[in-house]
Amino acid sequence: MDETQVAPRVGIVASVALIAVYLAPYLLIPNAGGDVGTYYSAGPVGASAIPFLAAVAVIAFLSGAQGRTDADVIAGLTLVMGLAVTALATLWAVTMPDNYLFSFPASASWIEWHRWLLLAVAAVIPVSAAGYARQVL
């Protein structure tokens, strides 16, 4: 495997994993659509931009990995997007009121650590983007 392809592939996997983690409450908690919407809208900015930026990051990483766009531009773009996603996830996770977490059924007790998992996965994106930037610059 080409050494310059590792970082963008890690970024792609992290971005797709972030989308999957974001969708988990919608898919795994039965009849909690409104509660999940309230959960994601908590805090000063909410979390709705996180999966959108992650999807754009997938496209950007793919574009760089396939050589369709200048690698320098993509390295910078993915680094900025990764930092933005991580900043949004951090702001959302640390400002989450506890009463939103306890509004879910007892069978969904995993929701208590969900925000920290989302933040951890989001943090992989700028790390992989920084690795990609280091390789191409």
Tell the residue number behind the tokens 């972030």, with chain if given.
Answer: 18
DSSP letter string, 47-70: STHHHHHHHHHHHHHHHHHTTSS-
**Proportion of the chain above pLDDT 90, given as a percent:** 82
Give yes or no for a contact between 131 and 3, defined as CB atoms under 8 angstroms apart: no
| pLDDT value at residue 4 | 74
* pTM listed for this prediction: 0.94
**Proportion of the chain above pLDDT 70, given as a percent:** 98
Residue 4 identity (one-letter amino acid)? T
Has residue 8 got a pLDDT over 70?
Answer: yes
Give yes or no for a contact between 52 and 23, defined as CB atoms under 8 angstroms apart: no
Q: What is the pLDDT of residues 16-75, one digit of tens each?
A: 999 999 999 999 998 876 889 999 999 899 999 999 999 999 999 999 999 899 999 999
Helix axis angle, 6-28 relative to 49-65, nearest 10°? 150
| pLDDT value at residue 36 | 92
Kindly report the average pLDDT of the chain as a whole number.
94
